Amino acid sequence: MVSLQKYKAGEPIIKENEIGEDAYFIETGKVEVSRIWEGKKSHLAFINANETFGEMSLIDEKPRSATVEAIEDTTVSVIHREDFLNLLQSNSAIAVNILKSLFERLREANTTILQMLAGSTSANENTVGSVESLLNPDSPGVTIEGITTEAKEALKQSTCELTRFPFWIGRKSRDPLAINNLELVVPHKRIQVSRNHVSIVNKDGRIGVKDRGSSLGCSVNGQRIGGDTGVPGPVFLTNGVNELVLGSDASTYSFKIVVG
C-alpha cells in the first residue's frame, strides 16, 4: 500500500548507509540529496515535487548511497518494495514516475560503462545526475535557440533557458517512460531526434553535452558523440556560442547553445 508521510524542513527522510526498502514520490515540497565525503557534507542535488528518490531500493538491497533531507515542509508517498508490483496496476501515475527514474539511472550507468571502455577522462563523472539538481547561482547561464527552420519549429519557443542540471532533451512522444525537460516537436517520420537524445550536464562549473543512447547521436561544435561512435561524451562547451546538431551529419536540427 502507498502511505503518505509528512516531514518538517530540516528533517531527514532517509540516511546514508541505512538499509531501506522504500521508494518515495514527492507530493509537495522539496528535498536535498547529500552524502559525506572526506568527513564533510557534500551537496548532490535538489529534488522537487512530482519527482522520486530512493527507487534503487526496489531493485537491490544495498545500503542507501546518500542522505535525503526535507529543506521545506514536504509530503511524500512511500512505496514499499513488496507493494511495487501491485502499484503498477493500482496507481500507474506514481509507478510510471518511478520507472522513468530507474530507466534514466540505467542510461547513466550505460553511459559510464561506455566512457570507461572508450578510456574517457570523464568516466568517473558523478552519475547521481539522474536526479535533477537546481542550477547553482555561481554557474554560467545557459540558453538554447533554434538555428534552422526545423530546429525553431521543434523548439516551439524562441529561447529555452536551462534552470537545472542535468537537463534532458528528446523528441516529444506518447511513450510514458520518456523523461525530458525539453520536448522537441518533431514529425514522426523524421527520426533524427530520439525520444531520449542528449543531456546538458554541469561538471564543476563546466557545461557539457552527453548522449543518452540516441539512434543517430549528435554533433557538438563539429565533434560527434553517440550513435555508432561508441563515445557518449560529455563534450564540454566553450563560453559563448556553441552549435549542437541532433542526429546525423545530414540533420537539419541545428541549435545554438549560449554559455555565460
Amino acid at 190: R
CATH number of the structural domain spanning residue 159: 2.60.200.20
67 with 145, same domain? no
146 with 100, same domain? no
Residue 119 lies in a domain: no
Q: How does pLDDT run along the chain (260 residues), one tens digit per residue?
A: 678 999 999 999 999 989 888 889 899 999 999 988 888 888 888 888 988 888 877 766 678 888 999 999 999 999 887 787 676 667 677 777 777 777 676 666 666 655 565 564 443 333 333 333 344 445 568 999 999 999 999 998 899 999 888 899 999 988 776 778 899 999 866 689 998 899 999 988 899 999 988 889 999 999 999 988 878 889 999 999 999 999 999 999 999 999 98
The boundaries of the domain holding residue 34 are 2-111
106 with 197, same domain? no
* Grid cell of 29 as nine digits: 515540497
Asked whether 151 and 255 are in contact (CB, 8 A), the reply is yes
Place of cell 545500503: 63
Asked whether 51 and 100 are in contact (CB, 8 A), the reply is no
98 with 43, same domain? yes
Contacts 24+ apart (CB under 8 A), 78-85: 78/2, 78/3, 78/4, 78/5, 78/22, 78/23, 78/24, 79/2, 79/22, 79/23, 79/24, 79/25, 80/1, 80/21, 80/22, 81/21, 81/22, 81/23, 81/57, 82/21, 83/1, 83/2, 84/23, 84/58
Residue 196 lies in a domain: yes
Asked whether 50 and 98 are in contact (CB, 8 A), the reply is no
Question: How many structural domains are present in the chain?
Answer: 2
CA distance 83 to 226: 37
Asked whether 123 and 112 are in contact (CB, 8 A), the reply is yes
Does residue 5 sit in helix, strand or coil? Answer: strand
56 with 138, same domain? no
pTM above 0.85, yes or no: no
169 with 107, same domain? no
104 with 172, same domain? no
240 with 163, same domain? yes
What's the confidence (pLDDT) of residue 118? 57
Residue 14 lies in a domain: yes
